[in-house]
Structure 1
């Protein structure tokens, strides 16, 4: 669309059904038949309307009820996402691979009217059926219904989506988002489309956006929202292990990535295997902690690297970096005109705007800890800003190691230095006893190489930052659903 609309109702009735009904909305690969299915926007809109009929027919007084989605990425997931919203429900995307302890906590908090699943067992199917069997519905249940003549969205400022934080410590929190929040975030992220529109031939088919991050991940959820609202095609991947197959079957130019995926792409490029990536040329990063050298290497090899910094509490909106130069590529970017920014005296970055969440679900105390009385979201990230207005994330406030001397150590800073050792696959810096320590995952035969590297590195940093203990893990370090290290 030429401008970013402000409601999901307009996105469907004006965009999908009137402005670009014949454009490709989605492609997805079916392994059993070795075929790629193409769905047009007009077909997507009809399936969304079928979902509205399905929900209204099977759930009494459905408006305002919570509808949970437990499934891998699929076209049916997309349809139910928009269908639940257009039926006036509260959409609750959930991580289907969580432990039963975590999942049951979230379900008890939400009290869903229905749980839509793909029927697969992700390790908790028996417990789910025993506790919520009467609420389980198939993801493809909409197909047998007629399209609804009318859509019934909730109010612009009512609760529309309830999404759980990824959480690296403790139980996750439910982040409440209104339509205003999500579409305000869309206005911030619209800058990405504006940048890309200047670099592509708009007389040709629009570039495909490959999506393999799970849709319960906010970055992927916002991709889904913004891409479909703009009328651009999404190529759906269900498993990163099928990445190379997928981009051959569904040529893609754009892809949202986390550091783990970016590093894998980087290895291909640096080993001379750029051709394996097909037409991919725009990796969009959704993390503040990318290695600047990795990004620079990608830029020097024909990629246009974009970084997006945000939080679940700001509906993924925040700061975007389009810089490709060595000076600024390590930043998270410059601020948006749609948001306000400030850095507190202790270095914490705060943001404010219409994209800020309504609050944490049933947790006013937790909300007050994150959003102050003036509407500022305290991100918990430590930042600095340079003379050109570029923001840099230094580390996490809660991760700071405070020494007996009163000095503050950012573990992320030291992790970035240790990871420059080629033998290091993963590492985490933490307090071990009374010393700064690092736990490293690497091949056993490379452990002495790592020790020597850390010893040499210690000579280049102030005494209080020196790593005093090096330990090794025989297995990869624990990470959450979005690939962040779990710090305990």
Structure 2
């Protein structure tokens, strides 16, 4: 599923028995969803939605309301995605987080992070851009490392193995040049999202 607080909170949903792999489902009941793109199936665009559960506006904040809800009543989520012919929505990432590759490619760090987070000893991670290179910042699972009797050098070697494994399954423009160990946990917002802006170069 997929949602937002402003949408009370569901936008897309699909039963686990019928959902399309990689998608977050289809528009929920009584909900409309569209992609702001000339080719929604192949070119990512902002995910827009409207329905009876969408907020009418932000309390005493007309400016934010106008920025978020357009004249036709579409709520702009700030998320980028694709939609297939069956209405399945595929989230690519946040529009404000998108990186631009050296050859003009759109890079969605969340897609890389999702894959990296599934690899050994990765507790949480962040992908940043340094010049024309992509760097993975990883806060290791130190508890697991201790249980396995691993030292700092072992962790470093495992992260290099993770980088090799990750780079084998992502496009050339999404490959990581290095993984840096983040000793402390990442600083987070009250919603437990990493404060990405603190770590960008």
Scaled to the shorter chain, the TM-score interval is 0.7 to 0.9
In 2, the alpha carbon distance for the partners of 1:468 and 1:361 equals 45
Q: CA deviation at 1:415?
A: 0.6
Q: Which residue does 2:194 correspond to in 1?
A: 485
Whose helix proportion is higher, 1 or 2? 1
Query: For 1:261-317, what per-residue CA distance to the aligned partner results, in whole angstroms no more than 9, with x for missing partners?
Result: xxxxxxxxxxxxxxxxxxxxxxxxxxxxxxxxxxxxxxxxxxxxxx3x211222213
Structure 1 CA distance, aligned partners of 2:60 and 2:161?
50
Is residue 162 of structure 2 the alignment partner of residue 453 of structure 1? yes
Aligned partners of 1:320, 1:459: CA distance in 2, in Å? 31
Pick from 6, 22, 26 the counterpart of residue 334 of structure 1: 26
1:348 counterpart = 2:57: no
Q: How far is 1:387 from its partner?
A: 4.2
**Contact 1:319–1:335 under 8 Å retained in 2:** yes
Secondary structure of the residue that 1:360 maps to in structure 2?
A: coil
Distance change >3 Å, CA 324–CA 481, structure 1 → 2:
farther
Distance 1:392 1:433, change over 3 A: same
Deviation at 1:321, TM superposition (A): 2.4
Aligned equivalents of 1:426, 1:337: Cα separation in 2: 34
Partners of 1:406 and 1:379 in 2: how far apart? Answer: 24
Q: 1:320 aligns with which of 5, 13, 33?
A: 13
**2:120, 2:162 within 8 Å by CA — same for their partners in 1?**
no
Give, in whole Å, the separation in 1 of the partners of 2:156 and 2:28. 45
Alignment match, 2:123: 425
Aligned partners of 2:7 and 2:90: how far apart in 1? 18
d(CA) in 2 for partners of 1:460, 1:353: 38
Root-mean-square deviation over aligned CA pairs:
2.0
Q: Is the 8 A contact 1:319 1:333 kept in 2?
A: yes
Matches within 5 A, 1:63-462: 307=1, 309-324=2-17, 328=20, 330-345=22-37, 346-442=44-140, 443=142, 444=152, 445-462=154-171
Judged with a 3 Å threshold, the aligned counterparts in structure 2 of structure 1 residues 475 and 319 are, in CA distance, closer, same or farther, namely same
TM-score by length of 1: 0.35
- 5+ residue gaps, structure 1: 1-306
Contact kept in structure 1, 2:120 and 2:158, CA below 8 Å: no
Q: Determine if contact 1:343/1:384 at 8 Å carries over to the other structure.
A: yes
- SS for the counterpart of 1:379 is strand
CA contact (8 A) 2:163 2:178 kept: no
More strand by share: 2
Q: Report deviation, 1:427.
A: 0.6
Deviations 1:21-59 (A, max 9, x none): xxxxxxxxxxxxxxxxxxxxxxxxxxxxxxxxxxxxxxx
Q: By how many angstroms is 1:330 displaced?
A: 3.8
**Cα 1:460–1:330 shift into 2, 3 Å:** closer
Separation of aligned partners in 2, 1:437 and 1:365: 36
Q: TM-score, normalised by structure 2?
A: 0.79
Task: Count residues with an aligned counterpart.
Answer: 180
Largest Rg, 1 or 2: 1
> Given that residues 323 and 329 in structure 1 are in contact (C-alpha distance below 8 angstroms), is that contact kept between their aligned partners in structure 2?
no
Q: Structure 1 319/456 Cα, relative in aligned 2: closer, same or farther at 3 Å?
A: closer
CA 1:318/1:462 → structure 2, altered by over 3 Å: closer, same or farther? closer
Cα distance in 1 for residues equivalent to 2:29 and 2:60: 32
Partner of 2:181: 472
Structure 2: gaps of 5 or more residues = 38-43, 143-151
SS in 1 for 2:121: coil
CA distance in 1, matches of 2:28, 2:166: 37
* SS across alignment from 2:186: coil
Counterpart in the other structure of 1:200:
none
